[in-house]
Structure formats: C-alpha cells, structure tokens
A and B are shown apart, each in its own frame.
Chain A
C-alpha cells in the first residue's frame, strides 16, 4: 500500500464531500435527487475563472501567487464571488424550472427528469461557451512537500482540506444552532407542518439553493485549482457525489463529508489495486453496497 494514496484520497474525498453536502442539503429539502448538481460544480468553477481572469487583467498583482500557493488573491476573491453567482444561477433555474414544477405539484420523478434535462443543457452550454478544452486558474507548478511517513502534499492540497473542514463545520453549526438552520431541518422533515408553525417554505428553499450551489462552486474552484477546469468535471463527479450523499444518509451534513472522504479514499486505494481507468466504477460499487446493506446510510434514519 502506497501511503501517498491516502493523501490523494483525502484531498479528492474532501472535494467529493463538499459536493455531497450540497446534494444532501438540496435532496433533503427539495425532496428529489438533483442530477444538475454536478453541473453546478462546473458552472461555479467557470464563474470563478471569469472573475479571476477579469481581476488578473485589471489588477496585475492579484495574479501573483500568494506565499507557497499556486494562485494569487484573484482566485479566493473569485471563489467568493462565484459562490454568490452560482447561488443566483441556481435560483434562476429554480424560478424557470423547478419552482414551476413544484407549483404544478409535479411528482418527484418529474423533478428528477427535469434536473436531468437541466444538467445536459447546462453542461452543453458551458461546452458551447468555453469549449471542451481544459482551462486553469494558474499555470504555475507546485512542488509537493514531504509531510513525513512517505506522504507528500502540495500547499494547495493542504489548503483545500482546510477549506473543506471549515465549511463543513460552518454548515453544521448553521443547521444546528441558528433559526434558518432549524427551519431547514423542520422543512426537511415535514414541509406541511413547517408551514403550520409559521416557516415560509419558499424562503427555506431559496436559502438551500444558495447554500448548495455555493458549496458546489467552492468544490468546483478547489477541483479547478488542484486539477483543471472542464465542462465535464461536474458530471464526472456526480456518481461519487450521489454515492457519498446516500452513504452518509440523506440530510446528514457530517455524514456526507465523512462519506465523501470514504469514497475518495476507496477510490485512491482501489486505483492502486485495479488501475486508474476503473476509478469511476468504485463509486458505483460503494453505491450498490450501501443500497444492499444500509439504504438509509450511515447517519440516516430508516424509512
């Protein structure tokens, strides 16, 4: 076993975890599996690319790498802007599509299908605008530092772990300690009763789209910094994201993050054993195993 695989798996897993937290939130409130969530990761990455390029062009200094990292201040600033822009995009899609379907009392599966249509539309739109060739936030290369024990990591990788950890803790606190978080949990369990106690369900849905899409943007920027930006990037992550969200238990934020790490680590370990070309199948194996043995997930409640 190569200890380096653990580090790579952890980094990949933290990205999967961030995406899965977004999926689990939207899933538990909106009550359908949103197949467009992967594309929100891609769109978030491209929003940040646009903003970072604009900032770099306007203020040359912002492209100069910060300390040991590969990118300048333009990227973190762009990530924050992309968080908001991606949230706005999700709200726009909800207004155009999902909100209308909800008002028609569409069945869950119609919503899933609509999200499938939205996913393909969004992905192709990104491909149309940015072409399918990969883009990068920064061209500067990084040297991985030894962390001891045969494990090496770049400063970017370590930062991505830190960002994921901070975000998950923040979301967890938001859900458990704040009024809007309590409202979200209430709507997730019973939207009708939530209305009866005075919660405006539409408002909660808006917040959830903002949060889910915002987290997707952060996951997209992280993936863009560590690997590259492609219109397909979110689609390729979708199966691991679903596997992690279901493994963690729908609705559980810590569960989604932990399951994301499990999926990432499993992929990294399995790649050592069966070869990188089978990476995408690992998530499927995990998914099948969860559905077989513990469909409610690690932290989910049995239905």
Chain B
C-alpha cells in the first residue's frame, strides 16, 4: 500500500519534471528574453516525434524507426526543435513583438496537422507506440522503475537548471537581460540584439524539444492529441505562477500547477458522472484560464518573482492608457 503510494508519487513527480523542463525552456525565451511563444505544444511535439522516430524499432508501416539509443533520441529531439525555433525566430524576431506570437501559434497548428496527416512519419491519429522506456527491464518492479525514472528526470532537470543558471550569469545572459529591459541598449546593439534574441529563442525551443522527448519515453506512447493548445496554456500557467525570469520558479510552478491539474482532474473523474466528464473537463480549463488571467492582473511576477529587480519603466511600449496621465490613477 505504502509502496504503491511511493510509486505513484514517483510517477507524478516524474511527469511534473517533464513539464518543468518545458517551463525552463520557456523561461529562457520569455523570462530572460521577453519573447512570447504561443506554440509551445508544437516545439514539444517536434522533440517527441523526432526522438520516437530515432529510437523505436523498425516499423514496416511507417518511415523508421531507427532503433537508436534513447539518449541519441533525446539529443535529436532537442536539435530538431531548436532548428525549428531558430527558423521561426529568424523570420519574426526583427518584426513586431506579437508577430512572433502569431507565427509560433501557426507552428503549433501546422505541427498538429502534420502529426495527424503525415501518417508514414508520425503514425497519424494513432500516434507512435513502443517508444523505449528507460529501465524498461525493471517494469515488473513498479517502485524501482518509478524511482529510477524519477532519478533520470531529476538529473535532466538539475543539469538543465545548472546550465541555465550559469548562462544567465554569463556575459551572454547579461546582454540578454539588458536587451530585454532597455530599448536603448537593444538599439545600440542593433543586429547583435536580434542575434542574441534568436540564440535564446533557439535554445529555449531546444529545451522544449528535449522535454518532449523525455516525456515521450517516459509514457512510451505519443499521439497528436497530447500536443493540443492546452499544453501551451498549462506551461504558461506554470511559468507565470512560479515567477517568470526565475528558473527555480519555473520548476516550482511546474510541480504546483501539474499537481493542481492532476488533482482537479482526479476529483472530476471521481465525482462527475461519465457522460458529463467532457463538460467538467472544460470547466477545469475555464478555472485555470481565469486563474492565469488573475495572476497576470494581481501578481504578474509570480510566487518567486524575478531574481533581480528590473526597472519598471524601461522597455515599456506605448499602449493607449489615457488614465495613466492623471496623477490620481498612479499607484503609490
């Protein structure tokens, strides 16, 4: 009984950690660079499908798989997602801030479409099964299997975290922050500012791809419906709740939001009659959506907030705000 609980706990945490990796990737793009990605699900899917293609045993019904070692698949997933991010970034980063958002939204739509329709590559609506799971030989012992997987994921999250922390403190990270916070600095850097942003966007996308790959191998099966816009939304909620600009916040937010999500899903399936479950699931999304908007309004810096203070007035773009003019509306 207790062992089952530990096994479930390990499963839950492992799943949450895969989200933590996505949130870390998003934090590079948004928290550190201020680039808005509405197509997270697409980049995660690219990583997942690439890794699945590389590591699954040969399947006569589709292209591949290539039966390569798992870690090769993970690296491959990260690289492919990174290239995709680079391309979409190169297209839009020099344009209006929200064109990147629209373009990444398009990426998610197209990846979803490709996953559904490119059957020879993706297995179509049925997805890809038999993705090798780490320590699959221990599957008979759920506790050991669960704990070892948790250890692997912790290792991935830990090393990604350390890498990102080092990067944030490196000259590269400092330039990124100044580019984000100070329009003048960005202008002074000119072309270089675009280059730095692009590097950060590609890095973040690559991390999302890695996350998708690890998730695919942990579950062992992927299908297009795993990568709907709701995934993008969840990850955003995770980063915003935890505190954008803060890597520990990204991890904390992932565990927290995934916990709330899993718990509320559990409650819904326990108390709502089966024929009403689809509706209840919709209500679940409504509540998370309202919560996200509320956090944006009330506590835009999240639970942990950003590690360093950023100045409030720099980098702000002109929005019509007629009431900001009179002193009465200015909050002390």
Residues of A whose CB lies within 8 Å of any CB of B are 29-33, 35, 97, 100-114, 116-118, 120-121, 124-125, 127-128, 131-132, 187, 191-192, 195, 200-202, 205, 235, 238-239, 242-243, 246, 277-278, 280-281, 283-284, 287-288, 291-292, 295, 303
In the bound complex, how far is the Cα of B329 from the Cα of A40, in angstroms?
A: 30
Contacting residue for B282 out of A97, A128, A246, CB 8 A: A128
Interface centre among A31, A106, A116, A242 (most CB of B within 10 A): A116
Chain B min CB distance to A152 (Å): 28
Instruction: Provide a sorted-by-A list of 23 A–B residue pairs whose CB atoms are within 8 angstroms.
Output: A33-B99, A33-B102, A97-B293, A101-B296, A102-B321, A106-B319, A109-B34, A109-B97, A113-B36, A116-B236, A117-B233, A117-B292, A117-B293, A127-B282, A131-B278, A131-B279, A191-B322, A239-B109, A281-B110, A281-B113, A288-B103, A288-B106, A291-B92
Query: In the complex, what distance in Å separates the CA atom of A235 from the CA atom of B233?
Result: 14
Taking a contact as CB atoms under 8 Å apart, the answer to whether A103 and B323 are in contact is: yes
Q: Enumerate B5-28 residues with CB–CB distance to A below 8 Å.
A: none
- B229-282 residues with Cβ-Cβ distance < 8 A to A are 229-230, 233, 236, 240, 278-279, 282
Q: Establish whether residues A121 and B113, one from each chain, have CB atoms under 8 Å apart when the complex forms.
A: no
Contact A291 B113 (CB under 8 A): no
Contact indicator A103/B329 (Cβ below 8 Å): yes
User: Is the beta-carbon distance between A124 and B282 smaller than 8 angstroms?
Assistant: yes
**Given A110-B300, A121-B289, A205-B320, 17 further pairs, Cβ under 8 A:** A97-B293, A100-B297, A107-B319, A110-B296, A112-B36, A117-B296, A118-B289, A124-B289, A127-B279, A128-B286, A191-B321, A195-B322, A195-B325, A239-B105, A246-B99, A280-B110, A281-B113
Nearest B residue to A274 via CB reads: B117
In the complex, the answer to whether A291 meets B99 with C-beta atoms within 8 Å is yes
Q: How far is the CA of A110 from the CA of B301 in the complex (A)?
A: 11
Inter-chain contacts of A103 with B (CB < 8 A): 321, 323-324, 329
Residue of A nearest to B30 (CB): A109
How many A-B pairs have beta carbons closer than 8 Å: the answer is 164
On chain B, the residues within 8 Å of A32 by CB distance are 98, 319
Q: Which stretch from B63-71, B191-199, B310-318 is at the chain A interface?
A: B310-318
Q: For the side of the interface on B, what is the size category? A: 35 or more
Task: Say how far B45's CB is from chain A's closest CB, in angstroms.
Answer: 15
Determine the residue in chain B with the shortest Cβ distance to A190. B318
Query: In the complex, which of the residues A101, A235, A278, A284 contacts B297, with contact meaning CB atoms closer than 8 Å?
Result: A101
Chain B residues within 8 Å of A192, by CB: 318
C-alpha gap A239/B281 in the complex (Å): 25
Instruction: Give the docked Cα–Cα distance between A287 and B38 (Å).
Output: 15
Going nearest first, the 5 A-B pairs with the smallest beta carbon separation are A121-B289, A191-B320, A124-B285, A33-B98, A127-B282
Alpha-carbon distance A118/B292, docked complex (angstroms): 9
What chain B residues lie within 8 Å of A243 (beta carbons)? Answer: 106
B292: A residues at CB distance < 8 A: 117
Q: Are A105 and B319 in contact (CB under 8 A)?
A: yes
A202 cross-chain contacts in B, Cβ below 8 A: 322-323
If A113-B236, A202-B322 touch, does A121 touch B286 (CB 8 Å cutoff)?
Answer: yes
Q: Which residue of A lies closest to B279 (CB)?
A: A128
Flag if A108 contacts B279 (CB, 8 Å): no
Alpha-carbon separation in the docked complex, A277 to B110 (Å): 11
Q: With a CB–CB cut-off of 8 A, which chain B residues contact A108?
A: 97-98, 317, 319
Pair A33/B101 contact, Cβ less than 8 Å: yes
Contacting pair A118 B293 (CB below 8 A): yes
Say whether B98 contacts A287, CB under 8 Å: no
Find out whether the CB atom of B233 lies under 8 angstroms from the CB atom of A120: yes
The answer to whether B91 and A291 have CB atoms under 8 Å apart is: yes
Q: A113-B36, A277-B117, A281-B113 are in contact. Are A295 and B95 (CB under 8 A)?
A: yes
Which residues of B (92-151) have their CB < 8 Å from a CB of A?
92, 95-99, 101-103, 105-107, 109-110, 113-114, 116-117
B85 to chain A, nearest CB (A): 14
Chain B residues with Cβ under 8 A from A288's Cβ? Answer: 91, 103, 106
B198 → A minimal CB distance (Å)? 15
Q: Considering the chains assembled together, what is the distance between the CA atoms of A298 and B214 in angstroms? A: 44
Residue-wise interface mask of B (293-308) relative to A, using a CB-CB cutoff of 8 A (1 in contact, 0 not): 1001100100000000
B185 at the A/B interface (Cβ < 8 Å)?
no
Q: Are A201 and B320 in contact (CB under 8 A)?
A: yes
A154 and B326 alpha carbons, distance in the complex (Å): 56
Q: Are A107 and B101 in contact (CB under 8 A)?
A: no
Asked whether any CB of chain A lies closer than 8 Å to the CB of B1, the reply is no
**Is B163 among interface residues, defined by CB-CB distance under 8 A?**
no
Residue of B nearest to A100 (CB): B297
B152 within 8 Å of A by Cβ? no
